[in-house]
Structure 1
Amino acid sequence: MDDNNSLSFEELERDDDEEVLQSQTVPTNFEVQNENFVVDVLESKLLVGTAMNSVEDAYLLYCQYAHAKGFSVRKGDQRCFSHTNELQSKEYNCSCEGSKDERSSSQRILVYQKLITRTNCKAKLKITREKGGEWRVSRFVEEHNHEMFPSDQTHLLRSARNISHAKKSTLEAMVNAGISVSNAVSFMENEACGPENLGFIRKDAYDHMSRLRKHTKVENGDATALIQYFIDKANKENYFYWNVQLDDDDRVMNFFFRDYRCSVDYEYFGDVLSIDTTYKTNKYNLICAPFVGINHHMQNVLFGLAFMSNETESSFEWLFTTFLDSMNGKQPQTIFSDQCQAMMNAIETVFSHSHHRLCQWHINQNAPSHFGSLNGDSAFKKMWYKCMTYCESEDEFEVTWRYMIDTYSLGGHKWLNDMYKIRQKWATAFSNGRFSAGLLATSRSEVTNMVLKKSGNKTSSLYEFVVNYSKIQKNWRVKEKTEDTRCRHDQSKISL
């Protein structure tokens, strides 16, 4: 089985959490007898003392048994012989083994929470061997403490899913030919006589294609040209700053740069910072992350630009730490971002002295999908918008929120409860004492993204994009200077 396959179908299975579905179908007696026969045959091959050809064969056999019985497999502990890397024992557990670890999330307020599906199940297979000997089953626990998946859903289990090399090639060829992932999977499902016979689900296909795009290697020539460009700029311009993060294979993973004027602008206008990472450009599918502020003419101003290969917490921490280092450690008073959990965590860690605000526009775009029938209730909508923007104090917010929840019996509404936990990040009542330049959203970043689209497209190299970006930045600065001149001229007319 391929360990790199996604663990989830929809939100039912994850790396550490898998929900056991209750059967809504009743199989016929023949189907039950056939399934029980298959389970009995496979169990007979897993009895204690049974020889195994290899660790891989044992895993595949246990996965077949799990698929037939209705549970998913997770690889467990292993031991090596003393002072060697040679395996002595290996365990395979039911995916419901263990319990959720609360320590890692106890100090953070999450926008969403994963389903808790660990039931401390003890079912497992353990194989061991003597040094130089053959593998044998040393322990086989059959009993589970949870319900099994019904047969019409077992093809959705993680350990039952695998995209073979042949199917990967077919999927990639179809997508490269311009066919959407969804249509490609539909075709392959039809060829396999149904999704249950395909061997993987649509989410696996999307994840596979996403991994291909994310790990597209930045060509050596392009990376060399980009770094040489940075070196030349640093030699010609005092205080030009750039930094590149490489992966384990010495490939460009993330980079950030800013010129001297950016640092001057940040010194004057860096009290408010907007960060948006929704725009992707260039042929490597890297994430474009402009650092945007507002100048004295209410025009956008760029404090720096980054490209990221992924949106993990560690990548954001590297980026934000690099940005602060380039700006002599000055933290903004207010930061605007979207609800990316990884970014939120990194902001909390790196920008510890800044007030973090979430984009109200993104929240309002997302809210209707959670309101259901309340979307047609104008009185409810009025109270919601008042909680967001029009409460003048924290006390007024609390009273309005409680009235809204009580009036519409929303005490058990998960999304609203989650939003209430992070109300300091989106309700203006909690930000009245902090400077925000009148912003409520990351719209400044989004406008910047629209402009940056002119710098490159899906065929642009990094070097080409950076050069074109510098031209756009130069034009912005000309507009600022023009506005400075206009304001001075108007002022002189007034003084006369």
Structure 2
Amino acid sequence: MTENYFTTPEANVCDFPDLNGNDEDAEIECTDQCTFGELGRDEHIEVHSSIIEEFESRLTIGQTVKSAGDAYLLYCKYAHAKGFSVKKGDQRCFPHTKELQSKDFDCSCEGVKDERRSINRKPVYQKPITRTGCKARLKVGREWGGEWKVTKFLMEHNHEMVASGQVHLLRSSHNISHAHKSTLEAMVNAGISPTTAFSYMESEAHGPQNLGFTRKDAFDYLDRLRRKTKIEDGDASALLQYFIKKSNKETSFYWSVQMGDDNRMMNFFFRDYRCMIDYEYFGDVVSVDTTYRTNRYDLICAPFVGINHHKQNVMFGLAFMSDETESSFEWLFSTFLESMNGKQPETVFTDQCQAMMNAVGTIFPCAHHRLCQWHINQNAPSHFGSLNGDSRFKELWYECMSRCDSEEDFEAKWRIMIDKYNLTSHKWLNGMYKLRRKWATAFSNDKFSAGLLATSRSEGTNSCLKKMGDRTISLYNFVLNYEKVQENWRAKEKAEDTRCRHGKPPMIVKNNPLLNQVAKVYTLNMYHKFEEELVGSLSTAFELYEVGDFLVKFKATSHGPNSRVRRVVFDKHKCEVQCSCHKFETMGILCKHALKALDFMNVGFLPESYIKKRWTKNVRNRVPYNESGENGSGHVSEMVFVNQIMRSTYDLAMRCKVHEETRKMMNENLESSTRHANSLFEKLNLDVPNTCDDLSVDDDNDKINEVVVRNPLFVKSRGVTNARIRGHWDAKSKKITKGTQRKEKCSQDATCAPISQEATDIQSSDYMPGYSRQSGSFTAQFDTNRSYSPLPMPFATTSSVARDPNNGQFYMGGQTTYVYPFGAHPLSQN
């Protein structure tokens, strides 16, 4: 009697009676390359038996195999077809060598459990007993320099075989292919959870039985992948190892690590090649915010952030600091300056920390230092007391902060506020007055700031990083997350560049010569800002009050509330215009008052001097550069090649699956390509060496002989957390959840104070006692053919490890400096 078996569209497996003679049903894999119509039980068993017989003929005694590894794979295929699992048994090497002489492969049921190990203890997890003393075995061996041959093949088992629908669960049937590994790794690196990634791969394979590995295998592989980056000396050494590999791959990658005298990591900074290029174009304004902590060591996260020509965030580098002392900030800023070839920014925004202010003045003497107005406004109400309810006082305070056009105007309004409310002895306000040049806009009207008033750019960066990490994340993983954020920002900039180059903005005023001119040069974002100013000039009242031989002076008043009289001066000889609002000086585009003056003077174009290059579409065209900064080899990278081949092969397979002839043709071609590739591998001697380790689990052979660098200590200072600082009037700040209240504590050597006291403590702390950059330094040269252990640093309070991108040398700096030729550093590969 013949039974009918068929597949349905909803299923990818077929139910067959058990092939081992049992009454239970069993599942076998059904792919697009096989279709079952009417297939009888006897015919199916005959086909299955022929496959087993074919394997057995290839494993008979005396048959040659390519290697012990090939014998293992062949035996696993035989075991998969028959229904048992394989384990690796004893092996033997030739005397006094590591060359394999013989290797055993046993049935997983070989041997018996040793009961003596668990006689006096109760295991937490009792594993089922699977060993039955099975004698089934394959043994291969060879003579010295000879071929591998099958020397023993025992086929009899003393246990029941596994049903065909369950063989994919046997351990020796599990195998994660390179294609699956790369897919799994790419999906997890893209932010997809391992569970979701595995579910997708199951769906793509039409069921777990067709995938070739289990969920646990996938998780174990990802865990091994993570462990490869975790060397036994800890997170700090793993991070240094990553920096060295990155610097070997990217010639202009810069990193520097400062360590204490106990070789414990204290501070580190790094930036890639693109950061240096971005700083060259947009490094006029730099924002540094140190009020977030998003790592397991509670280190201070300090991103260096700027603004590109699309008004988007751009990264200049990232640092982590263990404390907020003046010496640490000086190290950080000097390291940043060195990585950028000594180019100083025009304006630096920071939060209000006395140690940081002192360091900025020392390292960036040419830069204008600005304090974050947002932090000041959030902190101010806690010092005003009953004055918080006085609207006139608050109006005077905000006018002093950002609504004064000149220093004289600020002094007058400040005096009115102090005298009216009798605040002459107010400690906090007196401290803020001493710092007025760092926060009041009246003292920075002639300094370019790209329109910034706060460190919100750095805070936005920290917000992005916070989403990809928490207080449990390691430094190594945090750096990887940072690079993902950085890549995302750069992709957005590329997309915006494309929009600007291949699109024209819609003009609110047609055929306007000024708009036509700026539309060709400005980015879309800056064009819209310019257009707003031009439209605003239409609602600006203009009064001519003085005309000279060269200068023409106007008074401009905008319609609407809170409008102020602006004074505009136009130079007819130089075709220059100046406005008391100083928008061009601080923002880089002309204000509506200046545009009104140009229109009044019949100037139908924008003078070239008023088109700031940093806001133009072609700002990056001034200097050609390689975006990656990698060592150019002229070859496509391995992963790019693999992805291209996988994509093209998959597309071809999907086209060939519908016809028997095309499936057969593709299988034959793949087998032919495999044979040719194996022949080429043999010709090029690319085979895996026949040593005692050739069957061991793959390990990371690229380990670096590293200096033992200890992980950072868990530190706290200034009482900051990984949450955004909340203001006095923020309702949420009054709600304290259990377990979230943290003590405010400065590190013992910190020179900063809580924010409420920083403004009054304006005296500079002493430079690091007993430390001088020039004193006690020497250079030691090393033989590149030798390896070196960590060098003692008896004279250095702190030291740093860095790599010079110009000559590839590693050096350790501090009071004592060591210079390592590239390739001979204890952290680099021999």
Tell me the TM-score normalised to structure 2 length: 0.33
What residue number does 1:439 align with? 452
1:465 is displaced (CA, Å) by 0.9
From 230, 234, 247, the equivalent of 1:221 is 234
CA distance in 2, matches of 1:472, 1:421: 38
Aligned twin of 1:334: 347
* Rg larger in structure: 2
Change (3 A) 1:490 1:415: same
CA–CA distance in 2 between the matches of 1:286 and 1:226?
14
Out of 258, 268, 283, the position equivalent to 2:271 is 258
Superposition pairs for residues 413-452 of structure 1, below 5 Å? 413-452=426-465
Structure 1 residue aligned with 2:249, among 223, 229, 236? 236
Q: Which moved more, 1:447-456 or 1:296-305?
A: 447-456
Pair 336,219 (structure 1): closer, same or farther in 2 beyond 3 Å: farther
Bigger drift between 458-467 and 265-274 goes to 458-467
Cα separation, 2, equivalents of 1:427 and 1:349? 21
1:492 to partner: Cα distance: 8.5
Give 2:418's aligned residue: 405
Which residue number corresponds to residue 489 of structure 2?
Answer: 476
Distance 2:471 2:286 in 1: 28
> Higher relative CO (CA 8 A, sep ≥ 6), structure 1 or 2?
2
Aligned to 1:273: 286
**Could you tell me which of 384, 393, 399 is aligned with 1:371?**
384
AA of the residue aligned to 1:429? A
Report SS of the residue matched to 1:463.
Answer: helix
Amino acid of the structure 1 residue aligned with 2:377:
N
- The secondary structure found in structure 2 opposite 1:305 is strand
1:248 Cα deviation after fit: 1.0
State how far apart, in whole Å, the 2-side matches of 1:250 and 1:303 are. 27
Match for 1:443: what amino acid? S
Instruction: Give the equivalent residue in structure 2 for 1:88.
Output: none
RMSD, aligned CA? 1.7
- The structure with the greater share of residues assigned to helix is 1
**Which residue is 2:324 aligned to?**
311
Q: Distance between the aligned counterparts of 1:232 and 1:446, measured in 2?
A: 30
Alpha-carbon distance in structure 1 between the residues aligned to 2:483 and 2:249: 15
- Amino acid aligned to 2:266: M
1:414 & 1:308 partners in 2: Cα distance?
31
- The letter for the 2-side match of 1:349 is T
Question: Identity percentage over the alignment?
Answer: 73
Q: 1:345 to 1:417 in 2, by over 3 A?
A: same
- What is the distance in 2 between the residues matched to 1:475 and 1:309? 28
Correspondent of 2:302 among 281, 289, 310: 289
The CA distance in 2 between the partners of 1:434 and 1:284, in whole Å, is 38
- Partners of 1:455 and 1:263 lie apart in 2 by 24
Q: Deviations over 1:256-311 (max 9, x none)?
A: 00000000000100101100111112211111110010010100111000011111
**Equivalent of residue 396 in structure 1, options 387, 403, 409:** 409
Q: Is 1:322 the equivalent of 2:339? A: no
Which residue pairs with 2:105 in the alignment? none
> Which residue is equivalent to 1:456?
469
Query: How big is the shift at 1:404?
Result: 1.0
**Aligned-partner Cα distance in 2 for 1:334–1:374:** 33
| TM-superposed deviation, 1:414 | 1.2
The residue identity in structure 2 corresponding to 1:396 is D
Please state whether the residue corresponding to 2:266 is helix, strand or coil.
Answer: strand
Q: Distance in 2 between matches of 1:339 and 1:252?
A: 26
CA distance in 1 between counterparts of 2:260 and 2:232 reads 14
Q: Which amino acid aligns with 2:308?
A: N
**In 2, Cα distance between the equivalents of 1:418 and 1:491?**
50
- 1:459 Cα deviation from its structure 2 partner: 1.8
Q: Secondary structure at the match of 1:243?
A: strand
1:486 maps to 2:474:
no
* 1:39-188 to 2 correspondences below 5 Å: none
Report the 3-state secondary structure (helix = DSSP H, G, I; strand = E; otherwise coil) of the residue aligned with 2:332: helix
Q: CA deviation at 1:455?
A: 3.1
Aligned-partner SS, 1:447 = helix
Per the alignment, in what secondary structure is the counterpart of residue 395 of structure 1? helix
In the aligned structure 1, how far is the partner of 2:425 from the partner of 2:381? 17
Residue type at the aligned position of 2:352: Q
Which runs of no fewer than 5 residues in structure 2 stay unpaired?
Answer: 1-230, 508-515, 521-830
Deviation at 1:493, TM superposition (A): 8.2
Q: Give the aligned residue type for 1:253.
A: M
CA shift, 1:489, in A, is 2.1
Pick closer, same or farther for the CA change 1:492–1:451 going to 2, 3 Å.
Answer: closer
Shift of 1:238: 2.0
Match of 1:300 in 2: 313
Cα distance per residue 1:29-59 (max 9 Å; x no partner): xxxxxxxxxxxxxxxxxxxxxxxxxxxxxxx
Q: Distance in 1 between matches of 2:496 and 2:405?
A: 34
Is 1:362 the counterpart of 2:375 in the alignment? yes
Q: Which amino acid aligns with 1:378?
A: S
For 1:395 and 1:458, the matched residues in 2 are separated by 48
Deviates more, 1:484-493 or 1:407-416: 484-493
3-state secondary structure, aligned to 2:503? helix
Alignment partner of 2:287: what SS? strand
2:506 and 2:349 mapped to 1: Cα distance? 38
Query: Residue in 1 aligned with 2:358?
Result: 345
Corresponding residue SS for 2:234: helix
1:229-277 CA-partner distances (Å, limit 9, x unpaired): 1111111112100000111111111100000000000010010110011
**Other-structure match for 1:9:** none
Runs (5+) with no aligned partner, structure 1: 1-217
> What's the TM-score, normalizing by structure 1?
0.55
How many residue pairs end up in the alignment?
Answer: 279
Deviations 1:70-129 (A, max 9, x none): xxxxxxxxxxxxxxxxxxxxxxxxxxxxxxxxxxxxxxxxxxxxxxxxxxxxxxxxxxxx
CA-to-aligned-CA distance 1:397-445 (integer Å, 9 cap, x gap):
0111111111111111111111111100000000000000111111111
**What amino acid is aligned across from residue 337 of structure 1 in structure 2?**
T
2:258 aligns with one of 238, 245, 258:
245
Name the amino acid aligned to 1:260.
Y
The whole-number CA distance in structure 1 between the counterparts of 2:316 and 2:493 is 15
**What are the Cα deviations for residues 335-385 of structure 1, in whole angstroms up to 9, with x where unaligned?**
111111111111111111110001111111111111111111111111110
The CA deviation at 1:219 is 7.8
Deviating runs (4+, > 6 A) in structure 1? 492-496
Q: 1:385 aligns with which of 359, 377, 398?
A: 398
Shift of 1:457: 1.6
The match for 2:750 is: none
